[in-house]
A and B are shown apart, each in its own frame.
Chain A
Amino acid sequence: EVQLVESGGGLVQPGRSLKLSCAASGFTFSNYYMAWVRQAPKKGLEWVATISTSGSRTYYPDSVKGRFTISRDNAKSSLYLQMNSLKSEDTATYYCASHPLFDYWGQGVMVTVSS
């Protein structure tokens, strides 16, 4: 059974940092591009970052470029999202998902940026 389990969320003050993790199992993680997608409360889905199978290529929208860093450890079947200089508008549930088909999703982890 495919599983993606996110962790690391919580309440953080504006300007601070947080690192999310996503543990994968049930599929050959190293063969998949992976992505982070977020959903602000009562809002739609927003793509946050994508990483290639080896980790050598990463992609971000302008809204997080320079603040967020996606990375992976294929030996541990794990995906990460380092989030720096957090803003209130980064408040959302963050999902890890397989890419480009978005066929596997985690349960999501909540990040709240507030003073």
Chain B
Amino acid sequence: DVVLTQTPPTLSATIGQSVSISCRSSQSLLHSNGNTYLHWLLQRPGQSPQLLIYSVSRLESGVPNRFSGSGSGTDFTLKISGVEAEDLGVYYCVQGTHAPNTFGAGTKLELK
């Protein structure tokens, strides 16, 4: 199975600070059809996960543009340009290129 390694496991930030989360895959996530199915989710405390970024860099409808995704192959990054209080929670990367789907262990974003 594909292993997704997220770093750091915990991230402390102040409001307005820019932060990045890394997601590294044990295999390339480039599908034979040319797409890369690496997505980013946010789970706020007590809530269900929600999609932020899909296919590496595409912003889900309604998600603020302070969120951005980048990367290719096995190395991916989620960046938040100016953290806001509503961004606190656990961020997960998930891959849909290879069966079975796998999730990263999560990165908890908390206030410093």
Which of B17-25, B65-73, B81-89, B93-101 is the interface stretch?
B93-101
Could you say which residues of chain B place their CB within 8 Å of the CB of A89? none
Q: How far is the CA of A108 from the CA of B105 in the complex (A)?
A: 19
When the two chains form their complex, are residues A44 and B92 in contact, meaning their CB atoms are under 8 A apart? Answer: yes
Could you say which residues of chain A place their CB within 8 Å of the CB of B39? 101-102
Q: Of all chain A residues, which has the CB nearest B58?
A: A101
Q: How far is the CA of A107 from the CA of B49 in the complex (A)?
A: 9
For the complex, is B11 an interface residue (Cβ under 8 Å from A)? no
When the two chains form their complex, are residues B48 and A45 in contact, meaning their CB atoms are under 8 A apart? Answer: no
For the complex, is A51 an interface residue (Cβ under 8 Å from B)? no
For the complex, is B7 an interface residue (Cβ under 8 Å from A)? no
When the two chains form their complex, are residues B96 and A100 in contact, meaning their CB atoms are under 8 A apart? Answer: yes
When the two chains form their complex, are residues A47 and B100 in contact, meaning their CB atoms are under 8 A apart? Answer: yes
Could you say which residues of chain B place their CB within 8 Å of the CB of A47? 100-103
What is the interface residue range for chain A against chain B? Answer: 20 to 34
Q: Of all chain B residues, which has the CB nearest A95?
A: B48
Could you say which residues of chain B place their CB within 8 Å of the CB of A100? 37, 96, 101
For the complex, is A87 an interface residue (Cβ under 8 Å from B)? no
Which B residues form the contact surface with A (CB < 8 A)?
1, 37, 39, 41, 43, 48-51, 54-55, 60, 90, 92, 94, 96, 99-106
A-B contact pairs, 18 of them (CB 8 A): A44-B90, A44-B105, A45-B43, A45-B103, A45-B106, A47-B100, A47-B102, A61-B1, A61-B100, A95-B48, A97-B49, A99-B96, A99-B101, A100-B101, A102-B94, A103-B60, A105-B49, A108-B48
